[in-house]
Structure formats: C-alpha cells, structure tokens
Structure 1
Amino acid sequence: MEKIQIAPADYHLLTEAGWYAVDFGKFELNFYFRPSAAKKAYVISPGFFKRADQPHPYFQRIRMFSELDGIGISMADPSLDLADDIQIGWFLGSRWVDYTKTIAAYLEKLFAHFGIANHDALFFGSSGGGFVSLVLATHIRGAKVLAMNPQTELLRFHDVRELSRVLEAGWLGVSNMSIQRDHAHRFSIAALFDSEQYIPHGIIMVNTYDPWHIEHHIAPMIKGMVNKDIGKPGLQIRFFSSEAAGHNPLPVNHIIPVMLELNGA
C-alpha cells in the first residue's frame, strides 16, 4: 500500500480503502481505513508488534473488516516511532503529549463526519490493544469496547525490558512514584475511570488460562470499579477457558459474534 498523507481536518479525503497518515505536529498517526455506507465504525488497536517479522507501521486484523458492516480503522501505534526497539507502546506517547487524547478527539470528529453516532462505534483490541481500546472508549463518551485479555496496569507489565524501552523513549527521568502520583490515569485503567468519572459500555473477555493478567490487570481494574462511586453503563467481564490460546486472542470466528452483539444492527 502507498501512504496517503492527510491533515487532521481532511476527513473528506477518506474515500477509498488504504493507508492514511495524519500529522498532528507532535506525532503522526498511521492507520488503514476501509470505507462503508453503513453508519457503524469498528476501530482496531494493536498489541505486541514483532519488529523483526513486520515493517512498521503494520495494520493488524484488517481482514476482520470483511465480516463487519461499517467503516473499519486499524491503527498502528505511534509510540513505536519514539525508538526503533519499542515493540509495544500502548499509545502512551510522552510525558508531554498524551497521544490517546489527541487520537480520541480526531476519531470522534471522524465519526461525526460520516454521520456515525458515538454509540455506534466499537473499539477492539487484545492485550496491549485492549488497554488502548479501553482508554479510547473512555475518552469518547458513548463508544463501546471489546477488550480481550487486556493490560490495565502498565507498570505491572510482565516484560520489564519492554516497558523500560517505552519509558526511556518518552518518560526519561520520570520515576514510577512520580507516574503513580501525577500520571496514573495514563498508565492505569482504574485510575482513568476515576479521573474521568466514567466507565464505557462493553465487554472484557478474559481467558482463565491467563492467570498473570487476571491477577495483575483484571483484578485491580475490578477493584477500582467496585470501590469508586461512578456510573457503570455496562462493562461486563466474561471469562472463557482456552488452554491453547493462553494470553493470545481467540480466533476471529469467536470474536466477530461478540463484536456484532455489541455493535450490530
């Protein structure tokens, strides 16, 4: 695919399927766009990215769009542009620039341009992409989310080396204590829900054969939801058991029906 460079306000140029790049000044968002006349939107966020196997940017799961009636957007993580060795970045950006807030504002205007109500937009991601999907659906009020085995507490990420690369690239000199004190809402879903006083509508699917994420990510999020007196518009936790999948997402034929359940006709 050939890259098509557009400005943030150039929504009218999104007419054909392809690779688009939006320059926000501080960073660039690359995404694959699939047009549709249907007034629905499906937005996919990426998880771990093996740089040795694929060029960056790489757009994950775009084949899913053939089974979904609505515009399709598969985003590459702009945090990977901060350093050549980052393989998962959670759209964190830097201590100075919150990528997810900028992207959420952009996508909300994109939906409006195509006549799509926020409640007809669904964010999907697995693992790191699940974290990003939860964040974006929180910032775009009314949007839905389907997250599979998501991280929700980034400072508890199991691979310390991968986390360190992201922090060194965008958060150099910021201690974990400072992050927890001043930037918790960017690293913790529970803290984000508390900061925004909002919990999005959606489903979190969790494999019982992924005990690390249950203990270190799902449990803290649930605790945060229970202990905070904020509205709960219907974020469900659904457990499933697949020894073969482990932390990996289920096959597409298991994911599509849940996406349609949340965002179907």
Structure 2
Amino acid sequence: MIKLLDQYKIINISYEQLWQMDFQTTEPFILKVDWDKVTYEFLIRIKPDADNTIVFGSGAGGFQEQPIGPPIFHRHSWMDEFEDTVIYYNDPTLYLGKLSLGWGQGELNRFYLQDIANILEIVFTKLKIDSKNVLFYGSSGGGFMSLILAGFVKGSTAFINNPQTNLIKWIPVPVNLVFDLSYPGLSREEVEEKFGERINVVKFFNHIKYVPNIYFLQNFACEFDVQNHLLPFISELGQLDKDTEVNQIIIDLYFDKKAGHAAVGKSETIEYIKK
C-alpha cells in the first residue's frame, strides 16, 4: 500500500546534531535537518544488509504525486520495489516561491545541492555506506540534480533519463522563475556568467575537476533534448581541462516518438536501476 507522506514518522534535528543521530530504524521516516535557517528534508528507508543505496531526485512530475507539496519526494511509491537502502531528498528551493522545480539552485550565497550532498555524505558515513555503492537517479530536472550530486559525492554513479544539462537551454519560463527567486536582481546573462558552474553540468565538472560515473539514458526521438542537452553535453566534455578526472560515461539511446521528454516507464526504470 502506498503511504501518504503524513503517515511517516518525522525526525527533526539540527545540522550539528546529525553526527549524533541514531539510524537504527528500518521503518521509513522523514528526516528534517535545519541548517542555518534552511530545512533539508529526506525520506529514508534503511536496509541494514543491503549492498546498494539509491538516491532519488524529483523532477517537475513530483507535484502530480504530491500536489500539496513541498516536500516533494518523487517516486516515493516505488520504495518497496527495492531491497536496497533508498533515500529521497526534497529541494528547499521549492520553498522560495511558487515553483514546480528548483534544480537545487538555492540562494546567491548558498548552493542547496552542495548542502544536500554534504548531509548525504554524513548519512552515508553513519550508515557505513561506501560511495561506490551509491546510485543517484533522476529524470529531467531530477537528472540534472543527480549529475551534480554524483559530482559532489566522489565514487558514486548518476543514472539519468532525459536530463537537463544546461538550464540556459531549457524552457525559459520555469528557469526564469527560479533565477528570479535564487538570483534576485541578476539577468539571465549575469546568472550564466557568475554562476555557470551551478547551471551547466559540464562547467560544474570542470570547476571541481571531476566527472562521476554516468549512465545517460536518452530518448533520441526527443529532438529538443538531443539538440540542447545531450549533444552539447558530449561536445563540452571534450573541452574539459586536462587535469579533470573523468570516470566511465555510457550514453544509451532509445527511440520513442510518443513518449518524447517523459522518462521510461516504472517497470523499465526499475530494471535499469537494478542492473
């Protein structure tokens, strides 16, 4: 049975208390971490003897599951399909205004995805989870966030389906809404110039001198994605600084004209994740 979010136990702690947190429970729970006036929320289900950990990112479709959100934990109804530890994170950017997607942008002086990665790494340490056994999954905007998080969490893998790789090349209206809230007073051009490594995945990889393991699943029938996100991503990877550590990148193309930008279905996605 699918649980509504309000049926999960909620644990409220400060960032400073995270190291003292006892993660003994195997029941799913929502962890709310207050850190310098921002609340980071995670839905966690621990499997103590599991080999792997799956971290789910939310695309705009998360609001269809949880229309009264945030918090948004996209695909949380899939939890019982896995024998692994599963973690869902909410993007606090969604609290800045009326948004369906925030791409983890945060505030001028604070990149929320970096904070989420920091908290996750503490959780992984507490649970004795090796980052090489961590998979970040997401589609569309969740794919963008998964790429960034896998870059921060060295050794992990990003499995992404039809992701954005550069927000400047996505549909302007939702991107401008986020830029206006996260970077008030700055034009799109100024955001691109000052925060390029937050909005362009390859610029981010170049900035941290590291490219994680990536499994990039793309619908080749979605011409907009291919022209604006897949091909520029591949092209820009060829221009990385020579001292950048590059891990394995697999591009897997399929052709589904009807599905377009939408992710592959639940059962197929689960099969890919379990691989």
Query: One fold, TM greater than 0.5?
Result: yes
CA 1:87–1:172 in 2, change beyond 3 Å: closer, same or farther?
A: same
Which of the numbers 76, 81, 105 marks the counterpart of 2:118? Answer: 105
Contact in 1 for aligned 2:219/2:255 (Cα 8 Å):
yes
TM-score of the aligned structures, taking structure 1 as reference length: 0.92
The one-letter code sitting in structure 2 at the alignment partner of 1:105 is: N
* Structure 2 CA distance for aligned equivalents of residues 33 and 79 of structure 1: 20
The offset of 1:13, in angstroms, is 4.6
Deviations 1:122-150 (A, max 9, x none): 00000000000000000110011101000
For 1:236 and 1:43, how far apart are their aligned partners in 2?
A: 19
SS at match of 2:122: helix
What is residue 222 of structure 2 aligned with on the other side?
210
Q: Secondary structure at the match of 2:246?
A: coil
The question of whether the paired residues in 1 share the 8 Å contact of 2:91 and 2:112 is answered with no
Structure 1: which amino acid aligns with 2:235?
Answer: K
2:156 to 143, 164, 184: 143
Q: Tell me, in whole angstroms, the C-alpha distance in 2 between the residues paired with 1:176 and 1:165.
A: 11
2:32 to 21, 24, 47: 21
Is the aligned partner of 1:11 residue 2:27? no
Q: 1:35 aligns with which of 46, 65, 86?
A: 46
Give the aligned residue type for 1:244.
K
| Among candidates 107, 129, 132, match of residue 145 of structure 2 | 132
Deviation at 1:117, TM superposition (A): 0.2
Q: What letter is aligned with 1:181?
A: E
SS at match of 1:227: coil
- Once the two structures are superposed, residues 161-205 of structure 1 have per-residue CA deviations (whole angstroms, 9 ceiling, x without a partner) of 211211111111122232222210000001011111111102010
Q: 1:90 to 1:136 in 2, by over 3 A?
A: same
Query: Could you tell me whether the CA contact under 8 Å between 1:27 and 1:78 is conserved in 2?
Result: yes
Q: Are 1:5 and 1:20, in contact at CA under 8 Å, matched by a contact in 2?
A: yes
User: Partners in 2 of 1:190 and 1:107 — Cα distance?
Assistant: 22
5+ unaligned residues in a row in structure 1: which ranges? Answer: none
State the alpha-carbon separation in 2 of the partners of residues 39 and 208 from structure 1.
Answer: 33
In the alignment, is the contact (CA less than 8 A) between 1:209 and 1:243 conserved in 2? yes
Residues 92-137 of structure 1: per-residue CA shift (max 9 Å, x gap) = 1011111111111110111111111000010000000000000000
In the aligned structure 1, how far is the partner of 2:176 from the partner of 2:239?
Answer: 30
Cα distance per residue 1:214-251 (max 9 Å; x no partner): 11111111111112233321011111112232111111
> What letter corresponds to residue 21 of structure 2 in structure 1?
Y
Structure-2 separation of matches of 1:39 and 1:49: 29
The match for 1:68 is 82
- Deviations along 1:11-48, one digit per CA (max 9) or x if unpaired, are 31562312221111241112211111114211000001
Q: TM-score, normalised by structure 2?
A: 0.88
State the match for 1:82 in structure 2. Answer: 96
Could you say what secondary structure the match of 2:47 adopts? coil
Please state if 1:187 is matched with 2:199.
Answer: yes
User: How many residues get paired?
Assistant: 259
122-131 or 200-209, which deviates more: 200-209
Distance in 1, matches of 2:21 and 2:197, equals: 29
In the alignment, structure 2 segments of 5+ residues that lack a partner are 1-5
* One of 183, 194, 210 as aligned partner of 1:198: 210
The Cα of 1:64 is off from its aligned counterpart by 2.6
Amino acid at match of 1:5: N
Residue in 2 that maps onto 1:175: 187
Change (3 A) 1:185 1:26: farther
Residue identity (%): 25
1:190, 1:220 within 8 Å by CA — same for their partners in 2?
A: no
Partner Cα distance (1:27, 1:49) in 2: 23
